[in-house]
């Protein structure tokens, strides 16, 4: 049987965001795969250059719709490094608190999506119901469910009162109970196990060679976690374990995430009980001295890197964001080769893809001529006039 080429995306029910995969299939087997990114490019990096550092925080928050705190934290860390200011300990703990709650809601969301990808919609409904609990906790802290707006240069914007902490601890106990249930379910439900165990294999060597990050790497036995390797905020003082799995497949990635959930709720409990008293922020000047800084952050999906270059004004000269999905793309393509068609959605979903975070540029290719030049603004205007000239009759005719 000859191979057929099947497009998956940019619009496809398995993908919640636009991304184009082209699969070469031999029956139900995948023999080749190609990816085209850039459908959700929003020009955010350029957007930073026109905004002040404070305004940039809110733009950074909107890079991702799920891990918003994971983008503001490295952003403000960079600014603080350039300003050479030290933030108060309480602010560091609050940053950890929000970050870990965000990790819980992201992992629960992933678990639901994974269930949906393998047709296990009940799991999806249950995890998303319990995720509401975590969103409520975040709302209690920050007033917002997803875009928390907690970080600011020099600390955080809102404090956690004693009342709130007590309430949060209660809710945390509930989340812990639900997490235990998911751990049991994830490691016991036969159809779910049958669909994820042995699927999307990625050996430890491949994970290292292809620079996999986050749960993807940890599921292949690579003990790589920025919170331990390069502690930021208060992670150096908080006890927790880095979860790894040796099975190197989607099952491993699921197991890493559900056991990480357990670590997260422990960290949240520890932070709430051991939060130091004091200020939550220090004043920071508006102008940032010239220099360069790099910050790393362990987002729910893996290592998130922000680079910042300042030129002594109120606005950054250049901000570069490397989101974890981008880093995991080569490894994903490697795991897809040789898999079944049926395993494509769950294999792609196993990296917890967030394509709009990863899309950094867009390249326009003319469908007929294959030309892929970038157009300047005058060129685009000229092209628009020519196109209108050619098609005017059709447009007016209708």
Partner 1 sequence: MAIPSLLKVLLYLLAFPGVLFLCAFSTCVEWFDRKVYARLQNRIGPLHTGNSGILQPLADFIKLMAKEDLVPTHADKGIFNALPLFSFASALTAFLMVPIFRVHLPFTSFPGDLIVIIYLLSIPTIVYFLAGWHSTNYFAMLGSFRNLTQLFGYEVPLFLSLLTPGMLAGAWHGGVWSPANWQMSAIGQFYMTHAFLIPVNIIGFAVALIALQAKLERVPFDAPEAETEIVAGAMTEYSGKKLALFRLTVDMELVAGSALIATVFLGGFVLPPVALGGTDISAPLSFILFVLKTLFVVALLSLMRALMGRLRIDQTIAFSWRWLAPLSLIQVVIAVGLKAFVRF
Helix intervals (H) in 26-161: 44-49, 53-61, 69-83, 89-117, 121-142
Size of the site for partner 1 (CB under 8 A): 31
Give the residue with the Cβ less far from partner 1, 236 or 338.
338
How far apart are the C-alpha atoms of 302 and 266, rounded to whole Å? 20
Give the residue with the Cβ less far from partner 1, 342 or 375.
342
Least gap, CB of 219 to partner 1 (angstroms)? 19
- Show contacts with partner 1 in window 319-348 (CB under 8 A): 340-345
Binding track over 216-255 against partner 1, x by CB under 8 A: ----------------------------------------
Give the residue with the Cβ less far from partner 1, 340 or 383.
340
Least gap, CB of 169 to partner 1 (angstroms)? 25
- Show contacts with partner 1 in window 57-116 (CB under 8 A): 115-116
Burial class (CB in 10 A: 0-12, 13-18, 19+), 38: middle
Pick one of 67, 82, 123, 299: the residue that binds partner 1 (CB under 8 A).
123
Least gap, CB of 367 to partner 1 (angstroms)? 18
Pick one of 43, 46, 86, 125: the residue that binds partner 1 (CB under 8 A).
125
Task: Compute CA 89 distance to the chain's CA centroid, rounded to the nearest angstrom.
Answer: 26
Pick one of 110, 126, 235, 355: the residue that binds partner 1 (CB under 8 A).
126
Between helix 53-61 and helix 69-83 the angle, nearest 10°, is 160
Least gap, CB of 119 to partner 1 (angstroms)? 3
Least gap, CB of 188 to partner 1 (angstroms)? 12
How far apart are the C-alpha atoms of 246 and 256, rounded to whole Å? 10
Enclosing H/E stretch for 327: helix 324-336
Pick one of 21, 110, 120, 326: the residue that binds partner 1 (CB under 8 A).
120
Pick one of 102, 117, 225, 303: the residue that binds partner 1 (CB under 8 A).
117
Nearest alpha carbon to residue 73 among 215, 231, 222, 225: 231
How far apart are the C-alpha atoms of 183 and 190, rounded to whole Å? 14
How far apart are the C-alpha atoms of 309 and 79, rounded to whole Å? 9
Is residue 174 near partner 1 by the rule CB under 8 A? no
Binding track over 178-207 against partner 1, x by CB under 8 A: -----------xxxx-xx------------
Q: Which residues does 240 contact at the CB level (< 8 Å), separation at least 6?
A: 227, 263, 266, 267
SS3 150: coil
Q: Which residues does 319 contact at the CB level (< 8 Å), separation at least 6?
A: 45, 48, 49, 56, 60, 75, 306, 307, 308, 309
For residue 250, give both structure tokens: 């989607």
Give the residue with the Cβ less far from partner 1, 290 or 342.
342
- Show contacts with partner 1 in window 16-35 (CB under 8 A): 25, 28
Give the residue with the Cβ less far from partner 1, 85 or 341.
341
Pick one of 32, 38, 119, 231: the residue that binds partner 1 (CB under 8 A).
119
Enclosing H/E stretch for 318: strand 316-322
Block residue for tokens 């790099």: 294
How far apart are the C-alpha atoms of 390 and 379, rounded to whole Å? 17
User: What residues make contact with partner 1 under the rule CB under 8 A?
Assistant: 4, 6, 12-14, 25, 28, 115-123, 125-126, 129, 189-192, 194-195, 340-345
């Amino acid at each position: 049987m000859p191979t057929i080429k099947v497009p998956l995306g940019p619009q496809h029910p398995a993908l919640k965001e636009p991304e184009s995969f082209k699969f070469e299939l031999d029956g139900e087997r995948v023999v080749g795969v190609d990816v085209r990114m850039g459908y959700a490019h929003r020009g955010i990096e350029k957007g930073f250059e026109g905004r002040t550092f404070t305004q940039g925080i809110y733009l950074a928050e909107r890079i991702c719709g799920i891990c918003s705190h994971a983008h503001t934290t490295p952003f403000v860390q960079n600014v603080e490094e350039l300003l050479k200011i030290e933030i108060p300990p309480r602010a560091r703990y609050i940053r950890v608190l929000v970050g870990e709650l965000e990790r819980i809601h992201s992992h629960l969301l992933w678990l639901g999506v994974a269930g949906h990808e393998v047709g296990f919609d009940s799991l999806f409904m249950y995890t998303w119901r319990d995720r509401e609990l975590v969103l409520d906790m975040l709302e209690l802290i920050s007033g917002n469910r997803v875009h928390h707006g907690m970080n600011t240069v020099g600390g955080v914007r809102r404090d956690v009162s004693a009342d709130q902490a007590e309430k949060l601890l209660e809710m945390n106990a509930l989340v812990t109970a639900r997490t235990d249930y998911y751990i049991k379910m994830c490691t016991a439900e036969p159809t779910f196990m049958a669909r994820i165990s042995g699927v999307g294999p990625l050996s430890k060597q491949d994970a290292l060679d292809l620079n996999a990050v986050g749960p993807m790497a940890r599921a292949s036995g690579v003990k790589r976690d920025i919170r331990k390797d390069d502690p930021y905020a208060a992670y150096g003082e908080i006890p927790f374990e880095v979860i790894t799995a040796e099975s190197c497949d989607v099952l491993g990635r699921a197991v890493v995430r559900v056991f990480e959930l357990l670590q997260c709720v422990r960290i949240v409990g520890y932070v709430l009980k051991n939060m130091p008293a004091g200020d939550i922020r220090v004043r920071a000047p508006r102008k940032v001295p010239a220099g360069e800084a790099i910050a790393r952050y362990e987002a729910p999906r893996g290592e998130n890197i922000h680079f910042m270059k300042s030129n002594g004004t109120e606005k950054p000269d250049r901000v570069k964001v490397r989101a974890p999905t981008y880093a995991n793309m080569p490894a994903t393509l490697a795991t897809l080769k040789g898999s079944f068609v049926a395993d494509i959605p769950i294999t792609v979903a196993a990296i917890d893809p967030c394509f709009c975070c990863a899309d950094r540029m867009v390249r326009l290719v003319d469908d007929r001529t294959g030309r892929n030049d970038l157009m300047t603004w005058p060129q685009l205007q000229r092209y628009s006039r020519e196109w209108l000239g050619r098609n005017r009759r059709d447009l007016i005719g209708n």
